[in-house]
Amino acid sequence: MTWYNKLRNGLSKTRKQINTSAGTLGTDLRDVFSNRIETLEDLEFALISADVGRAAAAEILEDVKNSKQPNLQAALMEAMTLQLEPDAKRAQLRKYGFAPDARRGSVAPNGKVIMVVGVNGVGKTTTIAKLGHYYQSQGKSVLFAAGDTFRAAAGAQLGVWGERLSIPVTQGKEGSDPAAVAFDGATERVQRGLDLLLVDTAGRLHNKHNLMEELKKVRRVIDKADPGEPADVWLVLDAVTGQNGLEQAKKFHEATPLTGVVVTKLDGTAKGGIIIPIVRELSVPIKFIGVGEGLDDLQPFDSQEFVKALFDMD
Ligand SMILES: Nc1nc2c(ncn2[C@@H]2O[C@H](COP(=O)(O)OP(=O)(O)OP(=O)(O)O)[C@@H](O)[C@H]2O)c(=O)[nH]1
Ligand SMILES: [Mg+2]
């Protein structure tokens, strides 16, 4: 199955959520405004239920009202694509018109190290495996560091992925300092001249101060061992957690400034609209999105492709 089809299937619950006023999406916009005001109210409710957020939902309705598109679906797709643009660009596009272009964001890390962080069970370790697979496919040589020394099976889990992908893994002892493992990994990457180090970290709640301090230390130590560009910090967010994920993101961002977000498990939720408040409120780019457990189920985020797949019924 192609990525696009996986994405389309993965978004089916969210699609159903937005299409609660099914059949009306093809409605001529003039009809929507002349006698179907309830359609817009339904739509606002559906958008909010899909976790698009109140502010974005209101703006989307406003853009739909001002749209020159022929029908509701086209207007909605345009308005939602706008919401996935950074603030400044959104204002500009509204003013000067919307010209679709190919603009898959860059998914290259700034430096040579990506540290992957997030709360428990969001998909950090599998995301590292998938990222390793992705960058390998881009011709990069990869190293993993098993920085989750907290959970007994965590190092082994990453070890299995490493073996499967022929990616070496820097391991630490259970209970050892995660910063020490990260230091060893960063040193090993430099010594072996590999292109990219992906550092796993233990899941942690964003309100646990000590654990957030630990992340800062891991980051400092990596930058000491590898004094090139500072390490990237990518937050993994589970789409199923919806709005709560935003709170997590803000706290992680305060502790270790994030350079990217990965949104996983979009296949398991009707709240895929959460992508919009993530873009609007965090001003951290969404790098990858995930729609399944397989190695190919994580791909670079492309806002236009996302909206197209979201409204693609057949
Ligand atoms: N359906 C689906 N499942 C996913 C996705 N990403 C990860 N998972 C699953 O989520 C579960 C948890 O993944 P892990 O990678 O172990 O999560 P983690 O964040 O490393 O967990 P901790 O290390 O315990 O904090 C696994 O069963 C994954 O296969 C996704 O995009 N879709
Ligand atoms: Mg893990």
pTM: 0.93
Q: Residue 247 Cα, ligand 1 centroid: separation in angstroms? A: 20
DSSP string, 70-127: SBHHHHHHHHHHHHTS-HHHHHHHHHH-------PPP-S-SSSEEEEE-STTSSHHHH
- 159 pLDDT higher than 90: yes
- 23 pLDDT higher than 70: no
Residues in the ligand 1 pocket, defined by CB under 6 Å:
118, 120-126, 148, 151, 154, 203, 264-265, 267-268, 290-293, 297
Atom of ligand 1 nearest to the CA of 236: 19
The tens digit of pLDDT for each residue in 247-276 reads 999 999 999 999 999 999 999 899 999 999
Distance CA 214, CA 110 (A): 22
Beta bridge partner(s), residue 196: 142
- The mean pLDDT of the chain is 89
What's phi and psi for 299, nearest 5 deg?
Answer: -145, 160
The tens digit of pLDDT for each residue in 199-224 reads 999 999 988 999 999 999 999 999 99
Please write down the HEC assignment for all residues of 194-214.
CCEEEECCCCCCCCCHHHHHH
What are the CA-CA distances from residue 203 to residues 24, 40, 45, 296 (Å)? 43, 41, 34, 23
Distance CA 161, CA 171 (A): 13
Atom of ligand 1 nearest to the CA of 291: 31
- 37 pLDDT higher than 70: no
| Rg from Cα positions in the chain | 21
Q: What mean pLDDT comes out for the span 267-292?
A: 92
Domains of the chain: 3-96 (1.20.120.140), 113-311 (3.40.50.300)
- 22 pLDDT higher than 50: no
